[in-house]
Amino acid sequence: MTGIRAVADSPLRGIGFMLIGMALLVPVLNAVAKLLLAEFHVIQVSWARFAGHLLFMTIIFMPRAGLRLYSTGHFGGQMARGTVMFFSNTFFLLALPSVALATATAISFSTPLLVTLFAVPLLGERVGIYRRMAVVTGLIGALIIVRPSMTDTSWASLLVLCASACFALYQVLTRRLAKDDPPETMIVYTAVVPVALLSLVAPFYFQMPETAMHWLLFGLVGLLGGLAQYFVAKALSLAPASIVAPLQYSEIITSTLIGFLLFGVLPDALTWVGAAVIVLSGLFLVYRERQLGRR
């Protein structure tokens, strides 16, 4: 066994970590990135996100773990995870200029369904009818919120679907490697490939930050990116992917609140209906896990 230590399954703790990562940290990360993208090139923002991720996670975990932080018996698997994450981000960013944001958002919510699909052959997980119903219910709630026009069948929509598939595969690979490598080790390897690849082109798009606020936002985008991925990795190390993946839908709730507070976007009635559906599907997963735990 390599790394810091292995952990036993604890589905309810995994649910909690996924909620912290997806419902709290990811929406804040997206808001900070949106502020930066108004003034800086997407390549520079993406590089700062992964470079800060690698730097801050090393600073946080190196004192306790030492060189064991980089100890893994699955170097190839870790590189594959980082590569899949890189392509997930790349596909999504390439698609955004050519596809409606609502449509891209709706397609990206297919990730939990794809996680459940990939978890069966790659992880050998059993997905019962109740979990499937919870996943579908959460997806319906997300579609109620974004209400996309599904008429866009261009190549850009296919790229968004590829991004979702890559992110789903990333989560399944995380769950698979979590049996031997701790989240601290996995989280530093997540950023290695993106940093290496983006560093080849980032100098051509670099713009010097001019204010203290710019430097603060660049620091935050790296720190929040690392912490968000850490909590997701922690969740996947504690619970089956098919249980915690649907909780990604909770991101839309906090994103709605942040969008209103920072950008003045007021949610309508259907948004709250969709949010309620998502919350209920998540609560049902918790209830179902408690029932299975008692048995």
| Residues in CB range of 34: below 8 A, 6 or more apart | 263
How far apart, in whole angstroms, are the C-alpha atoms of residue 146 and residue 149?
Answer: 9
How far apart, in whole angstroms, are the C-alpha atoms of residue 119 and residue 289?
Answer: 18
| HSE value, Cβ hemisphere, 13 Å, CA-based, for 263 | 14
What pLDDT digit, counting tens, does each position of 167-203 carry?
889 988 888 887 888 888 888 898 988 999 999 999 9
Structure tokens belonging to residue 58: 């090393």
pTM above 0.85, yes or no: no
Average confidence (pLDDT) per 10 residues, the chain, 295 residues: 50 88 82 84 91 92 87 88 89 72 67 76 74 80 68 67 88 84 87 92 93 94 88 82 76 78 74 79 73 65
pLDDT at 216: 95
Contact between residue 44 and residue 206 where contact means Cβ atoms under 8 Å apart: yes
pLDDT at 200: 93
DSSP string computed for 76-89: HHHHHHHHHHHHHH
Percentage above 70 pLDDT, the chain: 85
